[in-house]
A and B are shown apart, each in its own frame.
Chain A
Amino acid sequence: MVRTLAMFTDTSLCIGCRACQVACKQWNELGLEVPEWTGGYQNHAHFTDKTYRLVRFIEEPGGKPNGDLAWLLMSDVCKHCAEAGCLDACPTGAIYRTEYGTVNINQDVCNGCRYCVSSCPFGVVSFNESTGTAKKCTFCNDRIHNGLGPACAKACPTESIQFGFRDELVGKAAKRVEKLKAMGFKDAQLYGADAKGFLGGLNAFFLLLAKPSTYDLPDNPRLPQRNVMVDSLLSIGSALVVGLGVLLSFRERGKGGPHA
C-alpha cells in the first residue's frame, strides 16, 4: 500500500455552500433526487445512493464563543474507515480497499445484499434500486488514480475540505484544533483523526466545533461485526440446550419401543 490518502473536513471553515455536494453529483453523475422537508436548509436528510456528500445544517443556540447562536455547517462524507464495517460485512468481496487506503464498492461484483448498508456505523452506504448495487463515495477513485483531487475538495471555496496525505493532514488538523481552542471554541475536537482510536481511524476525518452527536455522528462508533463471536457462542449455547432437550425427549420415547 502506498501512502494513505485522506480527506480532512474542517467544519470551522465550512460556509455550507454545498459546492461539494453539487460537484460530487456532477462528477459522479448521480442524478436527480426529490428532497424532503428537513426543517431547514439541509437536503437531503441522509446519505443516499445519489448523495455521497451531504452538508449538514445544525442550529445551536449559544454555540458561539461569545454566546451567540451558532449555525454548525458540516460537509459529511464516507469516512473510508481503516476498519470498515461495510467491508467486513460484504459477502461477495465487492467492497475492497485500494492501495490509497480508500474503501470502494466494485459495482461489477456487488450483488445488492445490502448487509453493508446496515453495517455502516455512519449510514453512508446506500442501495441503488436501478443498478441493484450498493453505492457510496469513492474519494473520486478515477480522479485520485489520475493525480486529481476529489471533486468535492477541489470545489470547496474555503478549503473546509482538504485532501492529501493522511499523516500530513492529521498534523495540520491537530494544530488547527489548538488554535480554535485558543480562540474560545472550547468544544473544538478532531473526529476520527486518531489511528489508535475508533475504527482504526477514519480516512475522512473531521474537525468539529461541538460533540459528535450534535452532528448526527456516533460518539464512539464500533465495528458491528465485533459481536459476531459472542452472539454465535450464545446461539450455539442455546442450540445445545434446545438440542439436549429434544434429544432427551426422544431418548425417553426411544426407550419405550423397539429401535428401528
Chain B
Amino acid sequence: MTTNLIDMQNSDVIMATSNMAENHPVGFQWVMKAKERGAKLIHVDPRYTRTSAAADIHLPLRSGTNIAFFGGLINYAIAKNLYFRDYVVHYTNASFLIDPAFKTPTDLDGLFTGYDPAKKVYDRSSWKYQVDGEGNPRRDNTLKDPQTVFQLLKRHYSRYTPDMIEKVCGIPKAKFEEVAQLYCSNSGPEKTGAITYALNLTQHTNGVENIRSLCMLQLLLGNVGRPGGGVVALRGHANVQGATDLELLYHELPGYLPMPLRDQHPDLKTYLERETPKGGFWVNRPKFMVSLLKAFYGDAATKDNDFGYQWLPKRASADAYSHQHMFVDMYEGKIKGFLADGQNPAVGGPNAKLTRAAMAKLDWLLVVDIFLTETAEFWKAPGINAQDIKTEVFFLPAAPAAEKDGSLTNTMRLIQWHDKAVTPPGDVHSDADFFCSLAHRLQKLYAGSKKDRDKGFLAANFTYGAKPDEPEMVEVLKEINGVATEDITDKDGKLVYRKGQPLNSFAHLTDDGKTTSGCWIYTGVTVEVDGKLVNKAAGRKPADDKDYLAHGWGFAWPANRRILYNRAAADLRGKPWSEKKKLIWWDANAPGQKPEDKGKWVGLDVPDFNAFLAPDAKNGDKPFIMRTDLVGGFFGPLNDGPFPEHYEPVESPTKNLLSKTQINPVVKIWKVPDQKNELAPVGSPDYPYVITTYRLTEHHLSGVMSRYLPMLAELHHSHFAEISHELARELGIENGEKITVLSPRGKVHVTAMVTHRIKPFTINGKTVHQIGVPWHWGWKGVDELPGSRGDITNDLSATVGDPNVYIQETKAFVCNVKKGVV
C-alpha cells in the first residue's frame, strides 16, 4: 500500500471496497478513529458484511463490475468538476499528448487500437506519448488538447454514466450519485480520501485494470502521497508482502527485478539495456541486479562472467510458470517433483479438483507445513483410492512464527522482527533450517561437478553462522540488506564501508561488484552503529506526539518511508497543500547536502524523494520517482489496454451492456484435457446465479491455520452459503438446511444461511441473484467439531486468468443452487 494504516485516521472519507472490518479488524481501528473524527465510511461490496455494519453507506454492486463503478466515479468527478486540478495537471500525465493513432473503446466498441483477434493480443505501438525533438513527452497544461491523456480519459469514461452504472452494476442511480458526490467532494487541498482493496479487486480476469481504475480515481482526486489519502492495499498473509519483495514469484527476482526471458535477455548487457528505463529511480536497476547476483553467487560472480548471469534460468515465455500454468502443466505430466511449502493448493487454489488431480500425476510431492494439510493428504481425499495414487509423498513438520527468529513484512511494507519464543517440539524445524539442510545435501551430491550449469548452485552460500543446517536469521537478513565486498572509500580516500560491513542505503549500491544486496529495497534494515550490527526490523519505539508514523518501530521499505510519493503532499513550491494535510515540505533554511547549501525536505515522514532536491530545480516538482516520467499515470499501457475498460467476467449472467466486447479480449483461458475446466456460456440457464467467494474473520485462507484450532473452528457452525431471502423463497430453501451449489467444474454441499444481507440485483431490468460462499473449508479439521470440515469451495472455480498476471477469477463466476444434497 502507498500509505500507512495509522494515517487512515486522517481521512475525510474512506471507501472500503474490501471487507476490511472482517479481514483486517485490527487495521480497521484507524477507520473507526477517522469516523470518530467525522469521516464518512462507504462500503462497496456485493454482500453486506461486518464492514457494511460499521459503514455510513453500504453500496452493493454486482460482482465483476468494479471498473464500471470506478469509471463511473471518474466520469462523475470530471463532469462535476470535483477533481484536484493542480495535482492532476502537475503530478500526473494528464497533460501529456498521446499518439494520434491511438483509439479507445469509445470508437472501437470495447477495444483499443491494435487488437489482433486471431492471436488475441494487442499491438501496442500506438499506445504512446507524443514526444518533442529531445524525446520528452509533449504536454498541454490547459488539458484542452483532445489528444491529452485527460481529454482521452474524459471521453473514454463519458460512457460510464449513472444510468449505465445502474444497468451494469445494479446500483440504483440515486444511490450511486449520493456516493459519488460524497466521495468525490472530499478532494482538494483541505481534504483527502482513502480507498481500500484486497482480493475483491484482484481475483478477476481484469484484476490489474480494476486496481488501475481505483488508482486513477485517487490520482484524479489528489489522494496519493497525502495524509489521509492513499491506495490501501490490504494483503492477506503475514508475509505476502515479504514473499513478493523477496520474489517467490515466477516472473521476478528479489526487489522487483524481471526474471530473465530466453528471447529477450540472452546476456546481462542486453538484460540491463532492455530493463533500465531512461528516467525515474529504476535507472539504478543495474546496481540492484549486479548486487543481487553478487548476493546469490558470492565470489564466483565476477565482472568477467557477467556476475554469474548465465547461471540464472531463462524463461521460455512470459506466458508460463504462473500458479495456474503450474497445475495445468502438472496435470499434463510436465512437472515431476513438487514442493508445497506453507501453502495448501488442494483447497486454496482455483479449480481445486484439477489441482488435486494434477498432484496425482507427480512422481514426488514434498509438503512442509505446520499441520497435515489437504495437499499433504490429497491421496486420502474423500472418494480417492490411495492405492491408485503413485505419488511419493514427504511431509516435514514446520515451525510457526513463535518458534523461530525472523522478520515479516506487513501490508504497510513494514518489516518487523519476531523472536524465537520456544524451541519447536520433536523433529519440527523452521523452513530456513530445511532449505539450508536441503541445499547442503544437494551441494554434497553435486560436489566436484565440472558442469557449468552446476557451478552457480555450488557457488551459492547456504551457511549463515556457526551451524550450517541451523542458519542464523539475522545473518540472512544482512545478506538481504547487502554488504560491501571490499573496502569502499569515498573520493577523498576516506573509508566509507569496510569489507563485510552492511550498507546503510540502496543509494550506495554499485554495479561493479563491490556491493551485494539480496533485495535492494530492504537495504538499510540492518546497519552498523559503533561497530555493532543493529537490526532495525527489531526496533520497538512506539509512536508519540512528534512521530505519529512511528519511524522507530520496525523498518518500512524503502528507506523507512511510511507514506510513498509523499512529495505530493506539498504543492509545486514545496508548501503543504494545506495546514491540515501537511506531511513533508521544503524548508529553504534547513542545512543542505553540503555545508554551503541550504534547503531540505523535512516533516513528519522520511521524504520519498531526493531530500535536497529543491522544488524549483529540474524534476523538483515530480513526486512519482519510481515512474520513468516521474508523474502519476492515468495513461498506463498494460496487456489489456492503457485505460481500464469494463468487460464482463468470463462467466456472467448477462451480455456486456457497455460494448460488444463481452470479456477481456486478451484474457487467459486454459484449455485443460478431460473436461477439467468447463465454462458456462453467457446467461446460462443451467448456472443462472452469480457466485462470489470470500473469507471470514474467524478463519484463515485455506483453513490450515484455523480449521485445526478449536478456538477458531468452533466459531462457525459449518461451511455455508449466504443466500438472499428472495432466492430462498424461490427455491423453497429454509435457513439452516443443506443445499448444493454447482458450477460446471464441481459442486459443494453447504448449509444455507438465508440472510437480509444478500439482495438480488436488477441488471438491465432483470433480477439477477448472487450468492456468497466462503472458501476456508476442506475435509480436514478438528474431530470434535464436525463443522470444521466441509467441501472445498474452490472445486467450483475455473482456471482462467488476468492477461497481465494470470490471477484467477474467483470473485465472480456463475453457479446453480439446489435444495438438499444432490
Contact = CB atoms under 8 A, between A and B. Distances in A.
Direct contact of A and B (CB under 8 A): yes
A8 to B, nearest CB: 15
A35 B715 contact: yes
Nearest to A33: B714
- Pick the most buried of A37, A41, A71, A72: most chain B CB atoms within 10 A of its CB: A41
A157 B755 contact: no
A34 B28 contact: no
A158 B712 CA distance: 20
Interface string B495-522: 0000000000000000000000000000
B716 A17 contact: no
A153 to B, nearest CB: 14
Nearest to B736: A37
A18 interface: yes
A157 B5 CA distance: 13
A26 B785 contact: no
Contacts of B25: 15, 17, 19, 157-158
B465 interface: no
Nearest to A17: B25
B57 A66 contact: yes
A41 B56 CA distance: 22
Contacts of A72: 53
A109 B785 CA distance: 33
B48 A157 contact: no
A18 B715 contact: yes
A43 B716 contact: yes
Given A66-B57, A69-B757, A32 B28 contact: no
Contacts of B751: 37
B784 A18 contact: no
B52 interface: yes
A16 interface: yes
B784 A32 contact: yes
B752 to A, nearest CB: 10
Nearest to A158: B32
Contacts of B58: 68-69
Nearest to B754: A39
A203 B54 CA distance: 26
Interface in B698-746: 698, 710-712, 714-718, 735-736
Contacts of B54: 15
B733 to A, nearest CB: 13
A61 B759 CA distance: 12
B712 A22 contact: yes
B630 interface: no
A71 B710 CA distance: 26
Interface residues of A, number: 35
Contacts of A15: 21-22, 25, 28, 32, 50-51, 53-54
Contacts of A44: 714
Contact of B698 (A18, A66, A158): A18
A18 B697 contact: yes
B782 interface: yes
Contacts of B785: 32, 34-35
B442 interface: no
A25 B53 contact: no
B735 A39 contact: yes
A35 B714 contact: yes
B757 A59 contact: yes
A256 interface: no
A42 B784 CA distance: 19
Given A15-B21, A17-B25, A37-B717, A32 B710 contact: yes
A70 interface: yes
A43 B50 contact: no
Contact of A16 (B32, B50, B56, B784): B50
Contacts of A33: 714
B53 A71 contact: yes
A72 B751 CA distance: 23
Contacts of A71: 48, 50, 52-53, 757
A186 to B, nearest CB: 16
B769 to A, nearest CB: 17
Contacts of B29: 157-159
Contacts of B755: 40, 59
B186 to A, nearest CB: 18
B57 A59 contact: no
A22 B700 CA distance: 15
Q: Which of B52, B714, B753, B787 has the most CB of A within 10 A?
A: B714
B788 to A, nearest CB: 10
B28 A158 contact: yes
Contacts of B52: 71
B26 interface: yes
B50 A17 contact: yes
Nearest to B786: A34
B336 interface: no
Contacts of B715: 18, 21-22, 35, 43
Nearest to A179: B36
Given A15-B50, A59-B757, A71-B53, A41 B711 contact: no
B716 A35 contact: yes
Interface in A110-149: none
A176 B51 CA distance: 21
B711 A43 contact: no
Contacts of B48: 69, 71
A38 interface: yes
A157 B22 CA distance: 11
Interface in A8-62: 13, 15-19, 21-22, 25-26, 31-41, 43-44, 59, 61
A101 to B, nearest CB: 28
Interface string B29-43: 100100000000000
A32 B714 contact: yes
A64 to B, nearest CB: 8
A81 B735 CA distance: 36
B28 A157 contact: yes
A159 B717 CA distance: 27
Given A71-B48, A158-B32, A16 B753 contact: no
Nearest to A30: B711
A34 B53 contact: no
B756 interface: yes
Interface in B234-257: none
Contacts of B784: 32, 34
B50 A32 contact: no
A59 B722 CA distance: 14
What 10 pairs between A and B have smallest CB-CB spacing?
A71-B53, A32-B710, A17-B25, A15-B21, A157-B26, A157-B25, A158-B32, A35-B717, A16-B50, A37-B717
Given A18-B715, A32-B710, A38-B717, 7 more contacts: A16-B697, A18-B697, A19-B25, A35-B787, A59-B755, A71-B53, A73-B50
18 contacts: A15-B50, A16-B50, A19-B25, A21-B715, A22-B711, A25-B711, A26-B711, A32-B782, A35-B715, A35-B716, A39-B736, A66-B57, A71-B50, A72-B53, A157-B29, A158-B28, A158-B29, A159-B29
